[in-house]
């Protein structure tokens, strides 16, 4: 058995063989190290790949070390497979709702699921070419080392008995699924996002523990593909998001037939007669949930073990990860970090942006700051929930007075035509101005729509600018213009309106 098959990638079909041939080739031979590297990058997820490719493209001599699968979580167990699954699940719902659009549709069948997963594996394998070992070696000129990296001093790491010395290094080791301490969980067995995409048969009953982005996305997807789903969350869904957005998601889940238990505590997990049971406390009473599979979506924890960070003089915390300053520099000035191993923003695009800061700061003495990034994000449920900037409670905590402008998607013509009226656009501005402080969008295409707000914030353009921009009709992004128009109406004070009316009377003479 090749080394790559030790990783939890299954089934061993042509798609997964192609994947592993790209991201962890079984016959790979590590190169002989250069005397010294401009940059050694530990971890070949998004942050590591961008750091390595960007630095090499600028002429740096770069070594990249990966112990697992190139592409990291995003390619292998995150964005790519989950969004492939979600797209199939959305289509299943569209087929089911075909009669609402005057068409004849149909329900998803139990035997559709294996083909859905085969499509997922095919798409992942095709995309993996971009992150492949051969591309980084042959096209980008990066020295790629597959194996465990451990620091052996403040300016060197060891991989497979070979020492790599560096002028600068980047720790980009990512994060892993959290395994919560629930009695009986380990013995009973469970899925996480790192194993759920290995399924080839649909679990008839699925219990999802955790109502964060991963838990919510996968709970809805599996329900739409035909599973009976219960979801347990200790608070409300997506507790960091706008409460109005969370409330909409809860209503949608219940309408779609997902059993929703909010403000519930998971006490015990056990096997009973060949099935899995989860005992939760909900509304002051114990309740037993039963299913074929349990999916844990309890968040991510930074990967810091096994690196021997003490030898490098790098401070870290098991929960927070590698400790960095606003320039992404660690306590060792030679070493930087980027991505999920050190940042609260655990998103692919955040890791990408951080890697670009690291290249500037580590190699060219830049002073680019993490805190100056304007970071949008999206949870890909249906409707999607996207956000950028401050929430209303953030502004209140900072003592910033604000105005809020909101438009319902149900009032947008294109949303009505699309049958996608669930949701809203809410924009927060500094009181008395058009300066955008933050926005939340709940809509079928919120992830696409939020970028217009992000660009406006990055360019210091306010709602007056958004109002002046012509938006094609009919599109759902008209909701953004409607919000901006709502701000403009506040500028028409009684005094101004009286002056304008007087001017128009004078013109009629």
**CA 456 – CA 330 distance, rounded (Å):** 32
The burial class, CB within 10 Å (0-12 / 13-18 / 19+), for 285 is exposed
- The token duo for 313 is 């003089």
Taking the CA atoms of residue 391, residue 394, residue 400 and residue 403 in that order, the dihedral angle to the nearest 10 degrees is 20
Task: List, in sequence order, every residue forming a beta bridge with 41; answer none if it has no partner.
Answer: 64, 170
**CA 69 – CA 429 distance, rounded (Å):** 43
Residue 407 has pLDDT above 60, yes or no: yes
Beta strands in 161-261 (DSSP E): 162-171, 175-177, 205-209, 228-232, 259-261
Note whether 338 and 172 are within 8 A (CB). yes
H or E element in which residue 302 lies: strand 300-302
- The token duo for 495 is 């005094």
pTM for this structure? 0.94
pLDDT band at 7 (very low <50, low <70, confident <90, very high): low
Over range 186-204, report the average pLDDT: 96
pLDDT per residue as tens digits for the range 384-393: 999 999 999 9
**How high is the pLDDT of residue 496?**
80
Q: Distances in Å between the alpha carbon of 82 and those of 76, 123, 311?
A: 10, 11, 38
pLDDT band at 6 (very low <50, low <70, confident <90, very high): very low
Strands 162-171 and 156-159: antiparallel
Ramachandran sector of residue 263 (left: φ over 0; alpha: ψ -120 to 50; beta: rest): left
pLDDT per residue as tens digits for the range 140-189: 999 999 999 999 999 999 999 999 999 999 999 999 999 999 999 999 99
């Amino acid at each position: 058995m090749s080394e790559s098959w030790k990783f939890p990638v299954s089934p061993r079909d042509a798609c997964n063989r192609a994947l592993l041939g790209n991201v962890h080739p079984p016959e790979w031979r590590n190169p002989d190290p250069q005397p010294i590297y401009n940059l050694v990058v530990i971890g070949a997820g998004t942050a590591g790949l961008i750091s390595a490719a960007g630095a090499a493209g600028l002429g740096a001599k770069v070594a990249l070390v990966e112990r697992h699968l190139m592409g990291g979580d995003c390619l292998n167990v995150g964005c790519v497979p989950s969004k492939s699954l979600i797209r199939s699940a959305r289509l299943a719902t569209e087929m089911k709702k075909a009669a609402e659009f005057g068409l004849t549709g149909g329900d998803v069948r139990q035997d559709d699921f294996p083909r859905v997963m085969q499509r997922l594996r095919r798409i992942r394998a095709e995309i993996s070419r971009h992150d492949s070992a051969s591309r980084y070696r042959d096209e980008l000129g990066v020295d790629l080392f597959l194996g465990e990296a451990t620091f052996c001093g403040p300016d060197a790491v060891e991989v497979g008995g070979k020492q790599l010395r560096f002028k600068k290094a980047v720790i980009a080791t990512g994060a892993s699924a959290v395994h919560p301490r629930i009695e009986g969980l380990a013995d009973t067995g469970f899925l996480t996002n790192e194993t759920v995409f290995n399924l080839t048969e649909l679990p008839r009953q699925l219990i999802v523990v955790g109502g964060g982005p991963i838990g919510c996305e996968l709970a809805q997807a599996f329900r739409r593909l035909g599973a009976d789903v219960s979801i347990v969350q200790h608070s409300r869904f997506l507790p960091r998001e706008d409460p109005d957005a969370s409330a909409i998601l809860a209503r949608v889940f219940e309408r779609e037939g997902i059993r929703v238990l909010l403000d519930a505590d998971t006490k015990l997990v056990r096997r009973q007669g060949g099935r899995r049971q989860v005992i939760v406390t909900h509304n002051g009473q114990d309740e037993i949930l039963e299913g074929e599979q349990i999916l844990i979506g309890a968040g991510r924890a930074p990967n810091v073990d096994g690196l021997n960070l003490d030898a490098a003089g790098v401070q870290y915390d098991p929960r927070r990860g590698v400790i960095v300053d606003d320039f992404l520099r660690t306590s060792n000035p030679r070493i930087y970090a980027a991505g999920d191993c050190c940042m609260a923003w655990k998103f692919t695009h955040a890791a990408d942006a951080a890697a670009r800061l690291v290249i500037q700061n580590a190699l060219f003495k830049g002073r680019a700051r993490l805190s100056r990034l304007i970071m949008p994000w999206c949870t890909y449920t249906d409707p999607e929930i996207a956000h950028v900037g401050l929430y209303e409670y953030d502004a209140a905590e900072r003592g910033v007075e604000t105005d809020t402008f909101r438009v319902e998607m149900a009032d947008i013509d294109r949303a009505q035509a699309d049958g996608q009226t669930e949701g809203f656009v809410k924009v927060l501005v500094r009181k008395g101005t058009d300066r955008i402080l933050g926005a939340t969008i709940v809509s079928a295409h919120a992830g696409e729509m939020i970028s217009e707000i992000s660009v406006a914030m990055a360019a210091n353009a306010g709602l007056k600018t958004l109002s002046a921009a012509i938006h094609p009709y009919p599109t759902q992004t008209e909701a953004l213009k409607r919000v901006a128009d709502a701000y403009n109406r506040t500028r028409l004070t009684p005094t101004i309106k009286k002056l304008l009316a007087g001017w128009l009377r004078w013109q009629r003479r």
